[in-house]
Amino acid sequence: MSLLTSPPGLPTGPRRPRVDTHAPYELTYGPAAVRLAEAAGLFLDPWQQDSLHRMLALDERGRWRHFEVAELVARQNGKGSILEARVLAGLLLFGERLIMWSAHEYKTAIELFLRVKQLIAALVEAGEIDGSDIKVIHTNGEQGFERLSTGQRIKFIARSKDSGRGFSGDLNIIDEAYAYTPAQQSALMPTMSARTNPQIVYASSPPLDGISGEVLFALRERGDPTAPRPADAPPWQQDESLAYRDWGAAGDLENLDGIDLGDPELWAQTNPALPTRISEQFVGREFRAMSREHFARERIGIWPRRATGRSGVIPDEVWRNRIDPAVQAGDPDRVVRPGDVVFVVQVNATRSHTTIAAVGARPDGTLLVSIVEHRPGTHWAPPRLAELKRRHSPLFIVAQDKGPTGSLFTDLADLGIVEAEDRERPRRGDLVVPWAADVAVAYGLFIDAVVDMGRLCHLDEGPLNVALAEAKTRPLAGGTAWDYTVPTVGPLLAVTLGTWAVLAVRLPPARRSAYEDEELMVV
C-alpha cells in the first residue's frame, strides 16, 4: 500500500549513528509500537526501530527512561515515519491524553496531519480499531484527532512564540527542530510540568547557521561528547534524561576541505535510508547541483560552527527583520534581484577563508546584500571573480589593497581586473579600492541602511549571520570600522564595502552626442 516506507528485509545502510548516547535501560515498549505501525502498513527500517526503542525505554518505575529524545538525520531519510509510529502508539497503546505535534511551517503541519490520517484509516480498514471512535478535526489551524472513548487528542500546529500555552501535553513532537527557538521552548516546556510521565521528541537536520538553532546547539552539547564546548566547560557526562542520536559526519561547515563530500561511503554512513528511500544516483545529482556547504549540511548532516558571541552593534531582532520577505516566506526563488550589482572580495585575517559578496539596488531602491561564495583558501577567488565579471558585467569590483586581500591584486590584474585609472570616475567593471576614510564611511552607510527600515535586505545566509554575531569594531580615520582581525568577519566586511560602492561610488555620466546637447539647449 502507499503507506509502505520501505519493504522489510532490504539493506538500509549502517545500523548505528555516529553519536548514540542514552541512559541504560532493560525494558522498552519499542517492539509494541513497531508492531502497531506494521498493522497500519508502516514498515520501519532497523535504524528507525532502534530510535523507537530509545524513545519508549522504561525506567524502574515504568515511566519513560528519557524525558527528551533527539534524532538528528539528513532530510528525506524517514525520521517522519519514526514520529508517526510514536504518535500512533501514544494514542492507541499508552493512553497519552494530549499529543502536540508542531512544525516550523503550517504547510508541514498539515502534511503530517494527512499522513497520520492515512495510517489511522489503514488501521480502521484492517479492523484493528473502531473507526467510529476516532473523530477527525478539520478546523483550519486546529487539525487533529480525538479518541471519543478516552478523550485523548492529537493536535497539529505551526509553531509561534505562544504556541502551546494553556495545554498540558503528555507528548510534544518538535519536528523541524532546526527552527525551534528558546522562546518557543519557553512556551511549550511548562505544558508538561503537571504531567506524570511526559516526553518531548526533537527531530531535525542540523541548524541552518551558527546563530540560529540555539535549542539544538544546547541539546548537542548535552548529548554529544565530541561536540565543541567552551574551554571552561566541565567534562561531558551522560544526561540521564536525554537520548541523543546524530547521523551526521563530524566537523563543521567552516572547514570542509578535509572531507571528501563526493565519497559514496560517506553518503551511506550519514544516510541510513540509502539505498531504500534515497538512491546513490540521486545523491550524486545533489552533490553536483548544490553548493558544498548546502550539500554538507542537508545531505551529510554536518553542523555549522556555533557563533560564540553577539556583537551587539545590530540587535538580533533588527537583523532578523531585514531578511528578504520571500526568504521569510520559504520561497527564495521569488527574491527580487538587482539589475546591477557590485562584487566584493575579502580575505579574512587568518587567510583561512575568502568571501565574494554581491550588493545591488533593486527597482524599489532597497539594497540586497548576499554571499556569492564563502570558501576556504584564497586561490579560487580571482578566477571566480573573472567569471562573475564576464557573466554579469558588474558596476564595479571592490577590494582593499591593504591587509590580507591585497595579496590577490597580482592575480586579479593577470585576469584583466585592474584598478580604475581615475578613482573619481571609474568605468564599469573597474576594480575600485576603498581608502581608510572610505572604509569608515562604509561602516556608517551599512549601519544606517540596516537600521532604516526597508532600506536593506539580506538572504539569511549562515556566513553573514555568524560574521555579524561575532563582529567587533575599531576606530578608523576619525570614525568606526569592523575589526578585520576577527576570523569570521569577512562576509560582513564584504557586504559593508559593497554597500559603500553602491551608495557612494558613481559611474561617470554617459557622454552625450552633439545632437542630444542641441536638443537640451532648445528645451
Q: What is the pLDDT of residues 46-81, one digit of tens each?
A: 999 999 999 999 999 999 999 999 999 999 999 999
pLDDT of 385 > 60? The answer is yes
C-alpha cell at 188: 511549550
Q: Which residues contact 164 (CB under 8 A, 6 or more apart)?
A: 100, 102, 157, 172, 184, 187, 188, 191
The pTM is what?
0.69
Q: How confident is the model over 301-327, as a mean pLDDT?
A: 82
pLDDT of 450 > 70? The answer is yes
Q: Which residues contact 282 (CB under 8 A, 6 or more apart)?
A: none
Predicted local confidence at residue 73, as pLDDT: 97
Q: How confident is the model over 356-382, as a mean pLDDT?
A: 94
Domains of the chain in start order, with CATH, are 28-225+241-247 (3.40.50.300), 257-306 (no CATH), 316-504 (3.30.420.240)
For the chain, what's the residue count?
523
Predicted local confidence at residue 509, as pLDDT: 57
Predicted local confidence at residue 182, as pLDDT: 80
Decide the pairing of beta strands 430-432 and 396-398: parallel
What pLDDT, in 10s, does the model give residues 243-267? 999 999 999 887 887 899 999 999 9
CB contact burial 429-440 (16+ within 10 A = b; e otherwise):
bbbbbbeeebbb
Residue 88's closest CA among 151, 33, 6?
33
pLDDT of 499 > 50? The answer is yes
Q: Percentage of the chain with pLDDT > 70? A: 91
Q: How confident is the model over 438-458, as a mean pLDDT?
A: 90
Give the CA-trace dihedral at 102, 105, 108, 114, to 10 degrees: 70
Q: How confident is the model over 443-471, as a mean pLDDT?
A: 89
Predicted local confidence at residue 257, as pLDDT: 79
Q: Which residues contact 5 (CB under 8 A, 6 or more apart)?
A: 42, 43, 44, 45, 78, 81, 277
> What's the one-letter identity of residue 75?
R
Going edge to edge, which strands form the sheet with 353-361? 430-432, 396-398, 342-347, 353-361, 367-376, 456-458
Radius of gyration of the chain measured on its C-alpha atoms: 27
What pLDDT, in 10s, does the model give residues 501-522? 999 998 765 443 333 333 333 3
Strand, coil or helix: what is 87? helix
Q: Percentage of the chain with pLDDT > 90? A: 66
CA distance 421 to 427: 9
CA distance 109 to 159: 9
